[in-house]
Amino acid sequence: MRDIFEDIFQNQPLDPMEAARRNTRPNQRARFYTRAEVAAIGGEESTGFSVLLDGKPVRTPARRLLAAPVRSLAEAIAAEWMAQERVVDPAAMPLTRLANAVIDGVASAPRPVAAEIERYIGNDLLFYRAPEPEELVVRQRRHWDPVLDWARDVLGARFVLAEGLMPVRQSPEAITAVAARVPAGASVTDHWRLGAISVVTSLTGSALLALALADGRLNADDVWAAAHVDEDWNMQLWGGDELALGQRAFRLTEMQAAATVLALLR
């Protein structure tokens, strides 16, 4: 089984944009198991739930146990394995890829992942508004202003908006207030939440959208729509490119996997 995971899941990146590029031609191997299920680790004093294939524990590419902190999440990962038919296709297994990244990467070095999310806060997508046309301006306000209102009213963070792409300097106090919501604990649950928030931040260009999703302020559909206001506007005017639409569909599966993690850990 070790060779299987080295072949098909080795070096799967946490960055969803890089994952999209790599998985245009993913490695695939024939399905080699009959059933996928979960089992508690540690018996009655369970410390998590591992994924089993035909009763044998699954290992990540770094040879760590593929396990989740709650049963429902482990079952969702196992369901991905059961959904594979003749071949095991990593492109169709976003939860497993995210699990590998969390277990092999985030858990051993959470601080750099948190720091990368925090770097987005000062230059968040939601700060930069179109001066025109009016319909686009209205769409941005409708999708983005409620998130900024949440940041102000709940997090105590007031941000400055700008038109166009010229950088705008945000107050350290506002950035610190939002950064305090980035998971910083040493628990397994925090590592999973941090990994999921990192994926959403990278996909959307917005730490605020990712944290609003983590807090249950927005659902995945809300976040996806907010992140693609400008892109959807341009597609409405000029149409969509087939390759770009395919990559967008792949990114959506990444978003849905991260949203699943956050929802099941909430």
pLDDT digits (tens, 9 = 90+) for 196-208: 999 999 999 999 9
45 & 174 share domain = no
Count of other CB atoms within 10 angstroms of residue 137:
14
* Range(s) of the domain holding residue 86: 2-93
Condensed to tens digits (0 to 9), the pLDDT of residues 156-172 reads 999 999 997 788 999 99
- pLDDT exceeds 60 at position 101: yes
Do the beta carbons of residue 159 and residue 153 sit within 8 Å?
A: no
pLDDT of residue 240: 73
Phi-psi region of 195 (alpha: psi -120 to 50; beta: other; left: phi over 0): alpha
75 & 162 share domain = no
Do the beta carbons of residue 99 and residue 195 sit within 8 Å?
A: no
**Helix (H) / strand (E) containing 123:** none
Q: CATH number, domain at 171? A: 1.10.3580.10
Across the strands, what pairs with 36? 53
Euclidean distance between CA atoms 209 and 222, whole angstroms: 9
Q: Are strands 29-30 and 36-41 parallel, antiparallel or unpaired?
A: unpaired
Do the beta carbons of residue 161 and residue 226 sit within 8 Å?
A: no
130 & 252 share domain = yes
Q: Would 99 be classed as within a structural domain? A: no
> Looking at the 3D structure of the chain, how many domains does it have?
2
Q: Are strands 67-68 and 87-88 parallel, antiparallel or unpaired?
A: unpaired
Q: CATH number, domain at 15? A: 3.30.2180.10
Closest Cα to residue 169, out of 127, 137, 141?
127
Condensed to tens digits (0 to 9), the pLDDT of residues 105-154 reads 999 999 999 999 999 999 999 999 999 999 999 999 999 999 999 999 99
- pLDDT exceeds 80 at position 214: yes
| Residue type at 126 in one-letter notation | L
Euclidean distance between CA atoms 214 and 223, whole angstroms: 11
Count of other CB atoms within 10 angstroms of residue 35:
11
Q: Would 88 be classed as within a structural domain? A: yes
148 & 235 share domain = yes
Single pTM value for the model: 0.89
Count of other CB atoms within 10 angstroms of residue 167:
10
Euclidean distance between CA atoms 232 and 135, whole angstroms: 12
